[in-house]
Amino acid sequence: MPGEEELLEALRAVDDPEVGVNIVDLGLVYEASAAPPLATVRMTMTSPACPMGDYLEGAVREALQGRFPEISEVRIEMVWDPPWTPERMSESARSFFNWT
């Protein structure tokens, strides 16, 4: 059964197409867990009006199901509390934007 770190590593393959940074380093993923055949991802967008929500949800499903064949269902919980802020970004993402 994949643990949270393995799931997050798989989700690093999913880039936010608007900014070119993966969703984990961007700070959009709040939590990931799996109890095959189900994986659950709690995540957010940079704003509730973000037009990439459907795209990113599909990419999350593809990344997890492609890496872990034992996962046949991915439940995505879109949350807005706490809201995303740039402080959620990893150091590498901050460096990408020169926000160090």
User: Tokens 């880039």 identify what position?
Assistant: 15
pTM (two decimals): 0.93
Q: Sign (positive/negative) of CA torsion 44, 48, 52, 58?
A: positive
Q: Tell me what pLDDT residue 100 has.
A: 61
Beta strands (DSSP E) in 1-100 are 15-16, 21-22, 29-35, 38-43, 73-78
CB 86 within 8 A of CB 21: no
Q: What is the pLDDT of residue 5?
A: 98
Walk me through the domains of the chain, giving residue ranges and CATH numbers. 4-96 (3.30.300.130)
pLDDT in tens, 49-92: 989 999 999 999 999 999 999 999 999 999 999 999 999 999 99
Q: What is the pLDDT of residue 96?
A: 86
